[in-house]
Structure 1
Amino acid sequence: MTSHTAPSRTALAIAGQRGFGEHRAAYPVNRSHDRAMNVALVALVVAPVPFLAMAWAASPWSSPGAGPSTAGSVVGTIASAAAGLAFLGLALWLGIPGLLASFSHPHATVHLFERGAVAIRHRGGSYSWPYENAQARYVVWQEAWEGELRDRPQLWVTFRDGETICFDGHSERDRAVLPDLAAALGGDREPEPLGELLSYETPTPF
């Protein structure tokens, strides 16, 4: 299940520098994970608003003709303003840049070229590797969830230095990509069962 996503300029530049040849295919990955991250980024961007509003409401300037603030309102103003400014800093540093990046590149994508692959995520960062320098392992492990076990299919790509990146099959759309992508990267189309694992025992989704 490939997509018709054209390679980004960054992906083409990386492939050109590494001599990977012509672009062959693109696979969208980790869309469920990216969607959850986008929700968190939106929450981060709007988080300063209620705190700054509370700081304004507790300040002596919020009501025309109001007298000097009481000790309680001063403390409330300072506490709310401090929290609001802290969240505002995080929104400017992480939230807004992350959302802008997601608009330009809405989900992580693995681009396959003749002699290598480039994986790019909208939150920033990329991996690139010649096919012979990495091992693709398509697995399925079981996660405890609401008193039951649920399957977690994933594609793990391990590089020669031991680092592993993960393409997750948490959603149905992401799961449908994994067999073809695994085969394209030199792995098996059928997942290897690993039994029950804890999330910290598995790689974090790329």
Structure 2
Amino acid sequence: MHRLKQCMLFALLSIVLFTTSNAEAKVFSDTRGHWAASYIDQMSDKGFFAGYANNTFRPDDLMSRVEFYALINAMAGLNKTHTVTFEDVSTSDWYYTEVAKAIKSGYLTPTTGRLNPNNPIARQDVMAIIGYMYKLTPSKGSISQFSDSGKVNASNAGYVGALVKLGVVSGNGSMLYPNNGITRAEVAKILFTMMDKYGLPQERVVADSKIKFGSRSLYN
């Protein structure tokens, strides 16, 4: 009987190790040879990025607002929520809880207008959220080198500059393109670089009484 138990335990461990090994070796069919392949592989191996049903990752697709919220929420282990008042976010939407976590964490300003959740998230918003979640020291002056720095919102400038100062974001020549969308591959690189240097972001929680509402047109 003891011998049988040992054999069963060995078989079970073999299955677990085989499954884990396969999960860590996940390879997307459309990332081989892509400049961000290693970042994508490592982020997906850690469970923060997932591909699509046909084993593709779509690295050059723009990331939506709610896709990024879900990603940063998972990395920070957020679980506290706040009531969602956006008129285009319903409790039946898969991202309702992610938006609720984003508000409670303090990086998303609630409104009674539209969030346009599936719109591409702007580069400057990604940088501002990362800077906030990692509690970086704002460095507004670091964006002055870019000719389009005037397009960075005043509320985002400090954290955008912080990522530039750290060398995590370098722009494209003299341009930062703060209002452009950002691809899934670019997000993978930025977040892996932050995680590699500073670990995972820590949970942030804002008291309900401190959460202020923004203009209805804030996310139009």
User: For the superposition of Structure 1 and Structure 2, which TM-score range results when normalised by the shorter chain?
Assistant: under 0.3
Give the TM-score, by structure 1 length.
Answer: 0.25
Decide which structure has greater strand share. 1
Give the TM-score, by structure 2 length.
Answer: 0.24
Q: Which is greater in Rg?
A: 1
